[in-house]
Amino acid sequence: MSAYIEMFAIGRYDSCHYLARTKGYLHYMKTREGSDYAENRPRPIFNARKDNVATEFILSAVKKQPLIKTCAYGVMLNPNSHHFDCQSLVRAVFRQYRNETGIELEWFATIHKNTEHSHAHIIVMPTDARDRSIMIRGVDKNLLQFLANQWLQTERIAAARPAS
């Protein structure tokens, strides 16, 4: 099985509702119904450096974005297997994306376990770590999917090795 990725614009600055749409997607990420959701304990949001990022920090990152076409991107990453740590996968994919492209994306993610396979929902800011505007296109989706599959293959090989 290979990883599956969906990408979409969460909101556009030509709409006055961009912040509300981002808040709505964050709410969905944290509170979507499922066996992994406890009503008084929303799912944690993580990024490259922290395991628990406050919603206020994410919204301030959205508010500081320049007025460019897209205010944020949504990404859903599904490894199509429940045998892998989705959080490690997300971090590895974005780290390798930075190594391959030289672009360090600012992103925030959470893991959902409400379907057959755990999967990650990710918000990607439309500027990189140096505040340069970026546009995520099909080629970026393909690269992210390739990197996810590469990581999954490496993990499968490591898991298949006999213990020494």
Grouping H, G, I as helix, E, B as strand and the rest as coil, residue 82 is coil
C-beta separation of 107 from 48 below 8 A: yes
The sheet carrying 105-112 orders its strands as: 4-12, 70-78, 119-128, 105-112
Q: 119 near 77, Cβ under 8 Å?
A: yes
The confidence score (pLDDT) of residue 27 equals 87
Per-residue pLDDT tens for 83-130?
788 999 999 999 999 999 999 999 999 999 888 888 999 999 888 888
Helical axes 18-31 vs 55-63, angle rounded to 10° = 150
Give the pLDDT confidence of 31-62 residue by residue, as tens digits. Answer: 888 777 776 788 899 999 999 999 889 888 88
Residue for token pair 């500027």: 127
**Are the CB atoms for 106 and 45 separated by under 8 Å?**
no
Q: What is the pLDDT of residue 67?
A: 66
Q: Which domains does the chain have, with CATH numbers?
A: 4-160 (3.30.930)
Backbone angles phi, psi at 155, to 5 degrees: -65, -40
3-class DSSP state of 7? strand
- What is the structure's pLDDT at 13? 56
DSSP 8-state assignment for residue 130? T
At residue 1, the pLDDT reads: 64
Helices marked H in the chain:
18-31, 55-63, 86-101, 138-160
